[in-house]
Chain A
Amino acid sequence: METELIRFFDALPGDMARTLPLMLAMGVGVILVVWDAFRTSIRELAWISGGVLAAGIVLEALQLDAEAGTAFYGMVRTGGYASFVNIVILSGGLLTVALCPAYWKRTGQEYGEVYSLILFATAGMIVLGTANNMVAVFVGLETMSVSLYIMAGLFRGDEGSAEGALKYFLLGAFATGFFLYGIALLYGSTGTMYIPEMVAGLEASGQVMLFRAGVALLLIGFFFKVGAVPFHMWTPDVYQGAPTTMVGYMSTASKAAAFGALILILRDIMPADGWAPLLASVALVTMVLGNLLAVMQSNVKRMLAYSSIAHGGYILVGLTAGGTAAWSGALYYLLVYTLMNIGAFGVMAFLEWDGKAGREQTLDSLAGVGLRKPLLGVTMGCFMFSLAGFPPFGGFLGKYAVFAPAVDAGYTWLVVVGVLTSVVSAFYYLRVLYVFFMRSPEDTPEAASVMDAAFPTPLVLRVVLVACAAALLVLGIAPGLLDVTGAFFEGAVPGIVTGY
């Protein structure tokens, strides 16, 4: 017992150093809650949280080449794969924090807790995305989810926001139940919480049926969190009602975290069991339903909500295929998706104006925006074309990266469905651009109010949007990053530390 403690304290500095972004996000998040009471300006909070997230990105980037390892008794993974997932999550957080001050100022509700919540959610996502142990998965998932429930309901006086938050919470709690039950069954059948050890545990116990039931329940929990059909019902309401900058965050970073965990769970558990048909069918209905329902929306945020469901489906195509190329492709897709979705929601956030109608924008109200505000228009063009998967944007290479391995693995039919639904998606993405560029504001009376009242575009917004668009161009032309993500899966599965 004594030696165990000594070993723990010996390992502690190293563990903390390697998980510093997580420590910082959590610690500074707590500090900011208190700071909020004494602050002189809301901008302090934004700067501090932004600084923490930026530092986290730098720290993780330094570890990107490092050998994959684990920390804290093998609870979370570090380096390599984990660093990449964390970079995606932290980037999502940083971009959102950058957009927040101007947005919240405009809405007249300058809550200081926004920044703490982002940090808490980011910390939860990091734990989830890098989890090596089912307990860590659960802790991360819940930390993330609770923060997101609150974020969704931050417009306190707005019934849409409240409705979305409540729906998210109730359904989320339900999904958590599935999740927890799944973990319990997995533990029961394998005798371990460590993900990489589960297969060995299963072989020892032979409780295959129990194990399968556990995986199925676990997958339901994951499908809920990534908004895969048929567990997507909450998504449109939440995304429509929630504050727009927050939607950009929750639709991307939370997916990165959940998929980050799911990929490793599949890698470590899939060999024991063939889950591909299930994943394939979920991917299929997710792509089809997400895209078809998106076509029918006239509210842009709702349309983007369905589109983000569909993008979850594309990533699931990659996970269905499995293997180095597919997993690394899925990681690439997550990064690209994060940039383009945050960008799209960022543009929408700054086209809002006061009042309920201003937040629930219909396509009609946006007529001619692209010509009046060229920067918003051009960057929105980049995001829409990227989401639709046109070269030379990242969305195209992302789709290539998940579809090509699926073709290789024999899921050509699934890829055919994927590209056909992409054609459908092009229809509604192009419709946004059509409204932005090809209709004159005079056609629609609502448009005048947007034009007059829409946000001035502050410098930080312009920087964020241009940075996202430029990054998408680079990711669409230079696929070198696929090399990096591919390398994560080359080596052996990182051994976990259980010797204490």
Chain B
Amino acid sequence: MDAMPIPYITSLVIFLPLAGALLTLMVRSDHAVRWMALGTTVAAFLLSIGLFAAFDASPELAGTPQLVDKFAWFPDSVDIKYFVGIDGLSLLLVMLTTLLGPIVVLSSWHYIGKQRKGYYTLLLILQTGVTGVFCAFDVFLFYIFFELTLIPMYFIIGIWGGPRRIYAAVKFVLFTLTGSLLMLVGILYLGYEAGAAVNGGVFTTDWYKLLAFDTPVGLQAWLFPIFALAFAVKVPIFPLHTWLPDAHVEAPTGGSVILAGVLLKMGTYGLVRFCLPFFPNAAYDYALPFAILAVIGIIYGALVSRVQSDAKKLVAYSSISHLGFVVLGIFAFTMEAMQGAVIQMVNHGLSTGALFLLLGMLYERRHTREMDDFGGIARTVPILTFFMIFSVLASAGLPGLNGFVGEFMILLGAFRSELIGHPLLIAAAASGVILAAVYLLWMVYKTFFGQLDKEANRTMHDMTGREIALMIPLVVLMFVLGFAPNRFLQKSEPATQFLLDSIHAKRMAAEDVRSTQDATRFFGYSSPTPDSETTTSEHSGGTAGPGFSDVSN
């Protein structure tokens, strides 16, 4: 934190993979392409460690993004800027993205046999898109990165995927596109409204200006569903999840890891970053329906996982279940649950990513994912079995490993929530933890234990050095996050607190407006008027200004 951060480090982390992609295109040999991709992703990861080190998690800075790069972009007639930065919310997800980058490259080393150049180029472009999504502080820029991830993913599933890859790829794109294009209309509408109110009549998509804009309650009621739909498809929240099993099953291992590890997080991140702070009243109103859908997703995903015969499909459905927890945590509107949701996003990326990687390794050896085709292979592949059991336990939430931390915090926070803290609901959600243990251990049992009765399974070779190397960081992090989550939680805490406070304050301000019919009252994060300060301080415990979060800490 003492060292000067590298200039433009945020932009570098975002665009380094893109530069690598362009270089990759120029390389002729298939062999060099892989090394190029590996080098680029490792460099991006090292840079992001610099990001982590330079990030200052002190509460005074909670309300401002750090390591900001901001340039004029559109003509002056509209206020759309290139505006990227890091705050506590995005930091961990950026780290997760850059960490998974080299791991995915390594996992594809032999798996991808045809058209390597295209594959790695697309993979690198994808990384730029995802990192950009997490760093963008301009909604328009966010949208561009959000859509940018569709193009590479379409090809990765469609070209290198399984037998039903076309169906899966098209479904993936059309589902996401429907949601996101409607959101674009929402962004345009919100931009004009906010521009008229807080930006001197100039259309704006600056996140902070939109945050400062007290969206009229009537407007929230229809903008919130539009934004939430785009993100709910991405998460995916039941009943919009049907694209996910298809995409996961058909995608190559690397694609699945990226998809589960970070692409789904764009949905939950979007909910936290945009839906809640922009439309707090509507978010409160919709909290219970969303929590119920989340719990349905938790249980439905778990039950459907249990009856799968295809191990990859099982893990795919388990993602629906796990992300249900994240959504539950988001809509609890309590500090514990929100923090739990943030850390659970990372956890899910690590553990589900690891599960997909291991299943991919099995697939490379036996070219099947049917659990019936395996059995008893713990004896032939002991190292793989160890890693699998470790990842399964982490995913199922064994205390001491990472999954437990997130799920516990979410359940605790949800239970305390005044909005969704109904005991029955939380009990139902908690049953998801048990069900997770059931289906995951079932998979381990069917696949790794029992009779070793298939000839092909006897000759399987265990993990190679490359495969062990790519698993080690994940396993170590699962352990570290399980034992010492505070090291990471404290990075996101001020930002989470700031978000919750500003949500609360905005909601109170809007309630005030609703009750007093004083439409001119304006309550922004940067310049709270003295008037609104006095009226809201008793509700929220302070102002929504940047300095506020140390009050509650």
Chain A contact residues, CB within 8 Å of chain B: 325, 371, 385, 390-392, 396, 400, 403-404, 407-408, 412, 415-416, 419-420, 422-423, 426-427, 430-431, 433-434, 437-438, 479-480, 482-483, 486
B155 contacts A390, C-beta separation under 8 Å: no
> Using Cβ atoms and an 8 Å threshold, which residues of chain A touch B182?
416, 419-420
Q: Nearest CB to that of A483 among chain B residues? A: B75
> Using Cβ atoms and an 8 Å threshold, which residues of chain A touch B77?
325, 482-483, 486
Interface string of B132-156 (1 = CB under 8 A from A): 0000000000011001101100110
For the complex, what is the distance from the CA of A73 to the CA of B189, rounded to whole Å?
A: 44
Give which listed residue, B75, B148, B174, B185, contacts A423 with CB less than 8 A: B174
For the complex, what is the distance from the CA of A486 to the CA of B77, rounded to whole Å?
A: 9
B222 to chain A, nearest CB (A): 10
For the complex, what is the distance from the CA of A407 to the CA of B181, rounded to whole Å?
A: 14
Does B203 count as interface, using CB distance less than 8 angstroms?
Answer: yes
User: Interface extent on B, as a size class?
Assistant: 20 to 34
A-B contacts, 28 of them at CB < 8 A, read A390-B148, A390-B150, A391-B147, A396-B144, A400-B188, A403-B188, A404-B78, A404-B191, A404-B192, A407-B188, A407-B189, A407-B192, A408-B188, A408-B203, A412-B189, A416-B182, A420-B182, A422-B177, A423-B177, A423-B178, A426-B177, A430-B154, A430-B170, A431-B170, A434-B170, A479-B74, A486-B75, A486-B77
Give which listed residue, B143, B144, B166, B174, contacts A426 with CB less than 8 A: B174
Q: Nearest CB to that of A434 among chain B residues? A: B166
> Using Cβ atoms and an 8 Å threshold, which residues of chain A touch B73?
479
A429 to chain B, nearest CB (A): 10
Q: Nearest CB to that of B188 among chain A residues? A: A407
B185 contacts A396, C-beta separation under 8 Å: no
B158 contacts A392, C-beta separation under 8 Å: no
Give which listed residue, B151, B159, B191, contacts A437 with CB less than 8 A: B159
For the complex, what is the distance from the CA of A483 to the CA of B143, rounded to whole Å?
A: 22
Does B12 count as interface, using CB distance less than 8 angstroms?
Answer: no
Q: Nearest CB to that of B141 among chain A residues? A: A391
For the complex, what is the distance from the CA of A412 to the CA of B150, rounded to whole Å?
A: 25
> Using Cβ atoms and an 8 Å threshold, which residues of chain A touch B169?
434, 438
A473 to chain B, nearest CB (A): 12
A420 contacts B158, C-beta separation under 8 Å: no
For the complex, what is the distance from the CA of A396 to the CA of B150, rounded to whole Å?
A: 14
For the complex, what is the distance from the CA of A419 to the CA of B180, rounded to whole Å?
A: 10
For the complex, what is the distance from the CA of A302 to the CA of B165, rounded to whole Å?
A: 27
A427 contacts B192, C-beta separation under 8 Å: no
With known contacts A426-B177, A430-B173, A390–B151 Cβ distance under 8 A: yes
B174 contacts A422, C-beta separation under 8 Å: no
A385 contacts B151, C-beta separation under 8 Å: yes
> Using Cβ atoms and an 8 Å threshold, which residues of chain A touch B178?
420, 423
B308 to chain A, nearest CB (A): 26
For the complex, what is the distance from the CA of A482 to the CA of B184, rounded to whole Å?
A: 19
With known contacts A396-B147, A404-B203, A426-B173, A419–B189 Cβ distance under 8 A: no
Does B115 count as interface, using CB distance less than 8 angstroms?
Answer: yes
With known contacts A420-B181, A422-B181, A479–B75 Cβ distance under 8 A: yes
> Using Cβ atoms and an 8 Å threshold, which residues of chain B touch A412?
185, 189
> Using Cβ atoms and an 8 Å threshold, which residues of chain A touch B181?
419-420, 422-423
Q: Nearest CB to that of A416 among chain B residues? A: B185
Interface string of B163-201 (1 = CB under 8 A from A): 001100110011001100110110011011000000000
The residue among A403, A419, A420, A486 with the most chain B CB atoms within 10 A of its own CB is A419
Q: What are the 3 A-B residue pairs with the smallest beta carbon separation, nearest first?
A: A483-B75, A419-B181, A391-B144
A434 contacts B188, C-beta separation under 8 Å: no
A482 contacts B189, C-beta separation under 8 Å: no
Q: Nearest CB to that of A391 among chain B residues? A: B144
For the complex, what is the distance from the CA of A423 to the CA of B185, rounded to whole Å?
A: 13
Q: Nearest CB to that of B191 among chain A residues? A: A404
For the complex, what is the distance from the CA of A87 to the CA of B189, rounded to whole Å?
A: 33
A390 contacts B158, C-beta separation under 8 Å: no
B148 contacts A482, C-beta separation under 8 Å: no
A438 contacts B166, C-beta separation under 8 Å: yes
With known contacts A419-B182, A486-B77, A404–B170 Cβ distance under 8 A: no
For the complex, what is the distance from the CA of A400 to the CA of B75, rounded to whole Å?
A: 14
Give which listed residue, A325, A403, A438, contacts B158 with CB less than 8 A: A438
A483 to chain B, nearest CB (A): 4
Q: Nearest CB to that of A371 among chain B residues? A: B115
B144 contacts A434, C-beta separation under 8 Å: no
Give which listed residue, A391, A404, A482, contacts B75 with CB less than 8 A: A482
A437 contacts B155, C-beta separation under 8 Å: yes
A416 to chain B, nearest CB (A): 6
A203 to chain B, nearest CB (A): 32
A480 contacts B75, C-beta separation under 8 Å: yes
> Using Cβ atoms and an 8 Å threshold, which residues of chain A touch B177?
422-423, 426
> Using Cβ atoms and an 8 Å threshold, which residues of chain B touch A415?
185, 188
With known contacts A438-B166, A483-B75, A390–B192 Cβ distance under 8 A: no
For the complex, what is the distance from the CA of A191 to the CA of B159, rounded to whole Å?
A: 64
B403 to chain A, nearest CB (A): 35
A490 to chain B, nearest CB (A): 10
> Using Cβ atoms and an 8 Å threshold, which residues of chain A touch B151?
385, 390
For the complex, what is the distance from the CA of A423 to the CA of B178, rounded to whole Å?
A: 6
Q: Nearest CB to that of B195 among chain A residues? A: A408
> Using Cβ atoms and an 8 Å threshold, which residues of chain A touch B154?
430, 433
> Using Cβ atoms and an 8 Å threshold, which residues of chain B touch A423?
174, 177-178, 181
For the complex, what is the distance from the CA of A480 to the CA of B192, rounded to whole Å?
A: 20
> Using Cβ atoms and an 8 Å threshold, which residues of chain B touch A438?
158-159, 165-166, 169
A484 to chain B, nearest CB (A): 9
Q: Nearest CB to that of B160 among chain A residues? A: A438
The residue among B75, B155, B169 with the most chain A CB atoms within 10 A of its own CB is B75
For the complex, what is the distance from the CA of A412 to the CA of B178, rounded to whole Å?
A: 16
Q: Nearest CB to that of A486 among chain B residues? A: B77
Q: Nearest CB to that of A324 among chain B residues? A: B77
Q: Nearest CB to that of B183 among chain A residues? A: A419
For the complex, what is the distance from the CA of A299 to the CA of B189, rounded to whole Å?
A: 38
For the complex, what is the distance from the CA of A436 to the CA of B19, rounded to whole Å?
A: 26
For the complex, what is the distance from the CA of A366 to the CA of B76, rounded to whole Å?
A: 45
A437 contacts B158, C-beta separation under 8 Å: yes
Q: Apart from A390-B150, A400-B188, A407-B188, what 14 extra A-B contacts exist at CB < 8 Å?
A: A390-B148, A391-B147, A391-B148, A404-B78, A404-B188, A412-B189, A416-B185, A420-B182, A422-B181, A426-B174, A426-B177, A430-B170, A434-B158, A434-B170
B147 contacts A419, C-beta separation under 8 Å: no
Q: Nearest CB to that of B170 among chain A residues? A: A430
For the complex, what is the distance from the CA of A486 to the CA of B75, rounded to whole Å?
A: 9
A211 to chain B, nearest CB (A): 33
With known contacts A426-B173, A434-B170, A438-B158, A392–B144 Cβ distance under 8 A: yes
B147 contacts A427, C-beta separation under 8 Å: no
Residues of B185-227 contacting chain A, CB below 8 A: 185, 188-189, 191-192, 203
For the complex, what is the distance from the CA of A125 to the CA of B191, rounded to whole Å?
A: 37
A407 contacts B185, C-beta separation under 8 Å: yes
A400 to chain B, nearest CB (A): 8
For the complex, what is the distance from the CA of A325 to the CA of B191, rounded to whole Å?
A: 15
> Using Cβ atoms and an 8 Å threshold, which residues of chain B touch A407?
185, 188-189, 192
> Using Cβ atoms and an 8 Å threshold, which residues of chain B touch A431?
170
> Using Cβ atoms and an 8 Å threshold, which residues of chain B touch A420?
178, 181-182
For the complex, what is the distance from the CA of A159 to the CA of B282, rounded to whole Å?
A: 61
> Using Cβ atoms and an 8 Å threshold, which residues of chain B touch A391?
143-144, 147-148
Q: Nearest CB to that of A421 among chain B residues? A: B181
For the complex, what is the distance from the CA of A272 to the CA of B161, rounded to whole Å?
A: 58
> Using Cβ atoms and an 8 Å threshold, which residues of chain B touch A325?
77
For the complex, what is the distance from the CA of A456 to the CA of B147, rounded to whole Å?
A: 34
A73 to chain B, nearest CB (A): 35
> Using Cβ atoms and an 8 Å threshold, which residues of chain A touch B173?
426, 430
B398 to chain A, nearest CB (A): 41
For the complex, what is the distance from the CA of A420 to the CA of B147, rounded to whole Å?
A: 15
> Using Cβ atoms and an 8 Å threshold, which residues of chain B touch A390?
147-148, 150-151
For the complex, what is the distance from the CA of A14 to the CA of B382, rounded to whole Å?
A: 88
> Using Cβ atoms and an 8 Å threshold, which residues of chain A touch B155?
437
For the complex, what is the distance from the CA of A438 to the CA of B159, rounded to whole Å?
A: 5
